[in-house]
A and B are shown apart, each in its own frame.
Chain A
């Protein structure tokens, strides 16, 4: 299997097939990250698609390291943009209603438990857990992506992880 860095180099030289291989390899992580951040699956897939299209344009700026972390950081930025846009739309549309978080992506019972547990976390804690635990960013990378101080990211991750474990254990025991 060709390493991500080689595929990215080929993609940067315009080879669509190399980029397609990267999409195929990392689609789960990006879609998963987007679904954990966004409100529902359709919005999450739009975010994931936008992230890959941005990655295609910026692929030459990928300098190595974890490709998954790089692309998930782009997905997080796309999520922020989508949320900003949504807020503006809600401000102008008084009749708009908030759609509940869609859990259709979760198929297995343990996935449902994880989704449910993740939803109970405060937003900033959930973002840090998603980026560091699910998407594989280091604490420093997550701090850069979110703009939170490094200590805050560590604290959010530690508390979030503890809360997730507690909930999963409780649901497992029930």
Chain B
């Protein structure tokens, strides 16, 4: 540290120069995009979360109906399922696309969040 304490005189000159640069205009310039982003970020996240929760809750009633109808057929164990019997080609591409978009959106939100 000794060698780092030899230039206090110059540091003081630089600090005096820096103090002359203080400006409220610059503070506003920095804070404006931060405030702007915060204005839509909260409602957007809560809105998306609320929509997701609403969609999930709305499906619970239907899920119970399906379970009550299918309960008898669910007695099979997973061991009974033949390997390779799951055929993705029968899936509706629209649903696969929707799942991919949802996953990508979640990844994008997580990546853009502050660390």
Where the two chains meet, the residues of A that have a C-beta atom closer than 8 Å to any C-beta of B are 12, 14, 16, 19-20, 23-24, 27-29, 31-32, 35, 45, 48-49, 52-53, 56-61, 105-108, 110-111, 114, 132-134, 136, 138-139, 154, 157-158, 161, 164-165
Contact = CB atoms under 8 A, between A and B. Distances in A.
Given A27-B27, A158-B3, 9 more contacts: A16-B34, A20-B31, A27-B23, A28-B22, A106-B17, A114-B10, A157-B3, A157-B7, A165-B9
A134 B22 CA distance: 16
B34 A56 contact: yes
B6 interface: yes
> Mostly helix, strand, loop or mixed at chain A's interface?
helix
A60 B114 contact: yes
Interface size class of B (residues with CB under 8 A): 20 to 34
A23 B27 CA distance: 6
Contacts of A58: 114-115
B7 A133 contact: yes
Contacts of B17: 32, 105-106, 111, 114
> Mostly helix, strand, loop or mixed at chain B's interface?
helix
Interface in B15-33: 15-23, 26-27, 29-31, 33
Interface centre among A20, A28, A132 (most CB of B within 10 A): A28
Contact of B22 (A27, A154, A158, A164): A27
Contacts of A27: 21-23, 26-27, 30
A57 B115 contact: yes
Contacts of A157: 3, 7
Contacts of B115: 57-58, 60-61
Contacts of A59: 114
B101 interface: no
Given A27-B26, A31-B26, A57-B114, A133 B18 contact: no
B110 to A, nearest CB: 13
A14 B41 CA distance: 11
Nearest to B3: A154
Interface centre among B10, B33, B115 (most CB of A within 10 A): B10
A107 B17 CA distance: 8
A58 B6 CA distance: 32
A161 B6 contact: yes
